[in-house]
Amino acid sequence: MNLFRLAGDMTHLFSILVLLLKIYATKSCSGISLKTQELLALVFLARYLDLFTDFVSIYNTIMKLVFIASSLAIVWCMRMHPMVKRTYDKELDTFRHYILLGASFFLALVVHEKFTFQEIFWAFSIYLEAVAILPQLVLLQRSGNVDNLTGQYVLFLGAYRALYILNWIYRYVTEPRFTRWIACVSGVVQTALYADFFYYYFISWKNNSKLKLPA
């Protein structure tokens, strides 16, 4: 494992910890898109179908279990926890996420590296992850003000994918047989979707002001 992938994994993990901190410490999910969280849960469930069939390393197995468990825990809290679910911004979280689901699955059937059950769902998870943040970004734009923990969650989630682009570049240079071009292209698209958020986050940090996204 190279440094870029490790940094990406730790940044991804930190983003989840920030979100869990927000939910459990404040008993609130205000500003968080349930639709994005459900899409991310599907991403991990589809990607890690090999969890109990292909062993890579203890680290790899633990990280897979952590991402699956944490994503399901977040969805459960937002849907079932008596205090948390009352704070959900249902009126603002209206993005038609089923379009993203259908488009991602169709693309996986058409563009994949190998036509097998596991590879199709792997491609589906990659395509879906690339666009899963859209409901979250739309919700933040509609709400206007963004609290610190929510802003940090989205920031670290975007930074994780940016670090993975560096990981893919490194692997392309150092591994002659590295061919995960689907992940590379999808990762670039995913990072680009965060560009606007990164810009306004930097401006608010520079001016020491509250983060606001234009409607």
The answer to whether position 214 is within a domain reads no
The residue segments making up the domain with residue 117 are: 3-205
The CA–CA distances, whole Å, from 20 to 13, 27, 59, 150 equal 11, 10, 21, 10
The answer to whether position 211 is within a domain reads no
The answer to whether position 213 is within a domain reads no
Q: Taking the complete model, does pTM exceed 0.85, yes or no?
A: yes
The answer to whether position 78 is within a domain reads yes
The answer to whether position 33 is within a domain reads yes
The answer to whether position 80 is within a domain reads yes
Residue 38 tokens read as 């459900």
pLDDT per residue, tens digit, the chain (215 aa), is: 789 889 999 999 999 999 999 999 899 999 999 999 999 999 999 999 988 888 889 999 999 999 999 999 999 999 999 999 999 999 999 999 999 999 999 999 999 888 899 999 999 999 999 999 999 999 998 887 788 889 899 999 999 988 988 888 888 888 777 777 888 888 888 888 998 888 888 888 877 777 777 76
When divided into structural domains, the chain yields a total of 1
